[in-house]
Amino acid sequence: MHSEDNCIFCKIVKSEIPSHKVYEDDEVVAFLDISQVTNGHTLVIPKHHARNIYELPEHVAADVFQTVPKIANAIQRETGAIGMNVLSNAEEIAGQTVYHFHIHLIPRFGHDDGFGAKWETHMDEYSQETLKQLASQIKQHV
């Protein structure tokens, strides 16, 4: 059995289960996230099944990412949001629960609007030399 066979988002693509779609073309679907973390919370997904960002073919990435600005602007126009978080979770540690690549568009309305992400800076712990070395090491893998 392929992972696609049991994939809830593949089923949404094929309209085998209901969803509230806001956009669809030959390669991409966007639909309202059932959890509505904030009003207008939307998921943008490729029709092609890929587990997450690590397994996303470049041409599929191009198709899905190029639709994001127009969907983001449509959500903004409708909801009057004052900002938006755009994110994609990969693997359990990052909060991924559905293993079909998706981009969350989470419109923002204020500090207590339902979305929270904790960020800590560790800038003090990284010298310019350390950053230089880290960048050159990552670069080798690109």
Least spacing, CB of residue 32 vs ligand AMP, in Å? 7
Which of Zn ion, ligand AMP, none binds 101 (CB below 5-8 Å, type-dependent)? none
By rule CB under 6 A, what string of x and - marks binding of each residue 83-102 to ligand AMP? ------x-----xxxx----
The upper half-sphere exposure of residue 5, i.e. CA atoms within 13 Å in the direction of its Cβ, equals 2
- Based on the shown chain and the rule CB under 6 A, indicate whether residue 19 belongs to the binding site for ligand AMP: yes
Instruction: Please choose, out of 33-41, 55-63, 69-77, 132-140, the segment that lies near ligand AMP by the rule CB under 6 A.
Output: 33-41
Least spacing, CB of residue 35 vs ligand AMP, in Å? 3
- Sequence-ordered list of residues with C-beta below 8 angstroms from that of 141, at least 6 positions apart, any chain: none
